[in-house]
Amino acid sequence: MIDIQTHNILIAFGLTLFAGLATGIGSTIGFFAKRTNTKFLAASLGFSAGVMIYVSFVEIFVKAKVCLIEQLGVIGGTWATVGSFFGGMFFIALIDKLIPSYENPHEMHKVEELKTRDEHFKKLHRMGLFTALAIAIHNFPEGIATFAAALKSPAVGIPIAVAIAIHNIPEGIAVSVPIFYATGSRKKAFLYSFLSGLSEPVGAVVGFAIMYSFFNDIILGVLFASVAGIMVFISLDELLPSAQRYGEHHLSIYGLTAGMVVMAISLMMFL
């Protein structure tokens, strides 16, 4: 059983809550923005991907491997790390597969596109509700990933929480805009966007509650490796394709590089 300090739990939960509620920022942008700032969005999504890819391979995967090798030996620990990493990728890919692409929040949209894509209010309302549900499902494992990273090391958890928050902003737009134009209510649109983001801290609480009674170094190592797989998949499947979808290929790569540099510097500061 690992001794987990209370203040580390509170920090991890706070960071997860911050990341999840960033959908509210997207909701607000959806109300008031007339056009999408594609350059800023492409660079931001690229930055988020850079942070998550770098920290996954350089920090989280390595720590998971060291932890599991100490418990299971070189061969067993290495296999457990690799298996958990790809298991995390398979898990998030399966969630992606089970959600219809029309309601999939990984299909990003611009503010102006969402405002004109459908004249039928009922269909808009249905699209907003399904998008909120889909985002809630996706945010659940993301919440576990953010919480686990922050629980092990706040220095790692902070940039991951920021990266997750950045990628939650377009998801907030995807929820709020169709509901707002279907109902005319900013309150309802913000509420659904807010609730979809809440599934992230809920995922953290549920995951921690389930594992707490038998939380040990092996469980921590498996979880860490799975988190790395989840974040790499999200980066490659969602963030970079979405950034390029906005037509700013080079800016997304510049953002990705900047994210890696920032993550590298932040990790070196805590050596």
Handedness of CA 233, 234, 235, 239 (dihedral sign): positive
The larger pLDDT score, comparing residue 100 to residue 141, is at 141
Report residue 229: phi and psi, to 5°.
-65, -45
The larger pLDDT score, comparing residue 34 to residue 91, is at 91
Q: What is the pLDDT of residues 53-80, one digit of tens each?
A: 988 898 889 988 998 999 999 999 999 9
Q: Per-residue pLDDT for 118 more than 60?
A: no
Rg over alpha carbons for the chain, rounded to the nearest Å, is: 19
Could you tell me which residues come within 8 angstroms of residue 191 by beta carbon, excluding any fewer than 6 positions away?
none
The larger pLDDT score, comparing residue 117 to residue 127, is at 127
Dist CA 166 CA 191 (whole Å): 19
pTM, to two decimals: 0.69
Q: Could you tell me the pLDDT band of residue 19, with boundaries at 50, 70 and 90?
A: confident
Q: Could you tell me the pLDDT band of residue 81, with boundaries at 50, 70 and 90?
A: very high
Dist CA 36 CA 43 (whole Å): 13
Q: Per-residue pLDDT for 45 more than 50?
A: yes
